[in-house]
Amino acid sequence: MTDTILSNITDIEGEEMETVTPTDYNIHLFHEGNLFDAHRLFGAHVYRDDSETFTAFCVWAPNAKQVKVVGSFNNWRGTNYEMTRVNAEGIWRIEIPLDLTNHLYKYEITTNHHEVKLKTDPYTFYTEKRPNTAGIVYSLNDFEWTDEDWLASREACNLYQSPMSIYELHLGTWKKEEKELIGYREMADLVVPHVLEHGFTHIELLPVTEHPFDRSWGYQGTGYFAPTSRYGTPQDFKYFVNECHRHGIGVILDWVPGHFCKDAHGLYQFDGRHIYEYEKELDRENYTWGTANFNLGRGEVQSFLISNARFWMEVYHIDGFRVDAVANIIYWANQGNQGVNEGGIAFLKKLNRAVFEYEPSALMIAEDSTDWPQVTSPVHYGGLGFNYKWNMGWMNDVLTYLETEPDERKHVHSLITFSLLYAFSENFILPFSHDEVVHGKKSLLNKMPGDYWQKFAQLRLLLAFMYGHPGKKLLFMGTELAPFSEWKDLEQLDWHLLDYDMHHKFNTYSKELLKLYKDTKALFELDHRSDGFEWIDVNNVSQQIFSFIRKSESPEDFVVIICNFSPQVYYQYKVGVPKASYYVELLNTDRGSYGGSNQVNEEQLKVKNRGYHGKPCYVEMTIPPYAAVILQPFHH
């Protein structure tokens, strides 16, 4: 933590706060890249000193000739509102002897080339609703949190040995009213019961940082310290998080520290020069997305971004971050995997150290498509310092396998097995995210080959395989409805599908699968240890059946999982199993109540004490078509 200097200054609610007056020390830390509460120094802050109330504005603009603050309090004219340059490195500040709470403001920056720019404060806590872009002077103090129990349980929880099933959510398209966006408060009251009913443990929000364009989904941001005003106020967003926490649901933010939007009011060419982004065009320009890459080697940018992460945890009680596009931070954006960005790697290590120093129970999840080693190893062991990483390789391999016609799957058998060669090299999350169901990629259901019935059967099988495979889980919103259409990012989810029999049955299945997952320690307790997984039969290429064991800490607490990726039914099929008196079905994805053909094993499966599949005994059972069966042992 950076040293803080307390004074008798109080904010307008009368609470003691850290001084907003720059000191030589915190200015030094800022330029060095080590001021991790920079939002206390920069931005707009209203405070009382003795009997007088002031609003202080502070901004970093090293190449500006002049900076004025303009807004609704001075008719957007900066005469007599010139800011004072505090130091040679370009910090500007002004104190105005007024309470400007709820006033609009921007910075009027005159560049070295005498161009005048109107810029939104990079540290503003709240902005006008799009398409307007001014910052709003805003206090973040008047909200009463009631999530103490959640915060205490979070501290006590062992993340790695707990179930984690994440619901990835885009607030703008989950549900709409008359095609209008629903606000944070109403969304909380709708989403929380849905997430609880379906058994998810966390919500992951697509970026809520302020952004100009709805269809960027928040990934091209302009206001990193401002929850988007599309859905309401900062206090409304606190209500959303608080309601999640009160009901035992964690909240993860999608967060984009690699690149940002180039709109004129934002960070790009902030003072006429490239101060937040790299100066060199090849390093700066992210041609794929039309954005600018943050200059992660610059101290002031490091202070900005690391402060931002800690700000969301401190002010909004966020439980962690899914860090977007880590590949574009590890490697230079326009050099592929040829050019390692040492500054980017140093930034990621510094970020993760600072986050875990502030909150040891945080989730820091890398969305990383590379094979860079030790992404989820601590920095002091030579790693990047994340504690989770999306397993993009598993996702791509499994979807490629399932999109292959069944009679051709024998040729791509290893796509299912390959992930177990590296499954324990990192702490993985298995993701079926929004990225897999947009831009013509089709929905998960519609990726499955075959007829109507076969598509549903294979989607049930896919999710059962996912929840049986080592690693925590993430599903994009709407997966529980089994939509035929891919994500339509201007419309709400296809809620009407629940009126149709097969979709309703799939929805029932998804709830029961997640309940079983959370109730079965063998499915999550040893996710990140190789002794939690054991193949039974990995070589059945002709029948396309994979069987394996998942284990918990307790030797007698395990499950046997059999996945049949063919359309055939197999009767009296032998499966080698560990010793037990008998086995029973915990789950059969072919149950009639799920929309299946009801090829189930209702009776206890008696163990035959002869070796098979390298195991001391076996059971004989019915293997349903396109289905997974989970067996639980019983011992006398």
Model confidence over 321-358: pLDDT tens digits? 999 999 999 999 888 767 999 999 999 999 999 999 99
Distance from C-alpha of 141 to C-alpha of 293, rounded to nearest angstrom: 33
pLDDT at 345: 97
pLDDT at 31: 97
Residues 165-176 have a mean pLDDT of 96
Residues 389-401 have a mean pLDDT of 97
Residues 315-322 have a mean pLDDT of 98
Cα dihedral 191, 194, 195, 196, rounded to 10, equals 120
Query: Confidence band (pLDDT; 50, 70, 90) for 581?
Result: very high
pTM of whole model > 0.75? yes
pLDDT at 5: 34
Residues 271-300 have a mean pLDDT of 95
Of the listed ranges 111-115, 212-216, 402-406, the one predicted with least confidence: 212-216
Share of the chain above pLDDT 90, in %: 90
Distance from C-alpha of 434 to C-alpha of 398, rounded to nearest angstrom: 16
Distance from C-alpha of 545 to C-alpha of 561, rounded to nearest angstrom: 10
Q: Taking all residues of the chain, what is their mean pLDDT, rounded to a whole number?
A: 94
pLDDT at residue 16 above 50? no
Residues 30-38 have a mean pLDDT of 97
Residues 58-68 have a mean pLDDT of 97
What structural domains does the chain harbor? 6-136 (2.60.40.10)
pLDDT at residue 627 above 80? yes
Active site residue: 95, 285, 367, 486, which one?
367
Share of the chain above pLDDT 70, in %: 97
User: Are 35 and 41 a contacting pair, CB within 8 Å?
Assistant: yes
Query: Which helix (DSSP H) or strand (DSSP E) does residue 348 occupy?
Result: helix 342-358
pLDDT at 50: 80
pLDDT at residue 603 above 80? yes
- Name the DSSP class of 612: B
Nearest to 621 by CA among 581, 584, 568: 584
Whether 204 is a known active-site residue: answer: no
pLDDT at 133: 96
Query: Confidence band (pLDDT; 50, 70, 90) for 535?
Result: very high
Residues 193-201 have a mean pLDDT of 98
pLDDT at residue 26 above 90? yes
User: Are 462 and 450 a contacting pair, CB within 8 Å?
Assistant: no
Query: Which helix (DSSP H) or strand (DSSP E) does residue 167 occupy?
Result: strand 165-169
Active site residue: 324, 480, 525, 537, which one?
324
Model confidence over 403-429: pLDDT tens digits? 999 999 999 999 999 999 999 999 999
Query: Confidence band (pLDDT; 50, 70, 90) for 22?
Result: confident
pLDDT at 48: 87
Model confidence over 419-476: pLDDT tens digits? 999 999 999 999 999 999 988 899 999 999 999 999 999 999 999 999 999 999 999 9
User: Are 271 and 90 a contacting pair, CB within 8 Å?
Assistant: yes
Whether 527 is a known active-site residue: answer: no
pLDDT at residue 20 above 90? no
pLDDT at residue 15 above 90? no
Distance from C-alpha of 268 to C-alpha of 120, rounded to nearest angstrom: 11
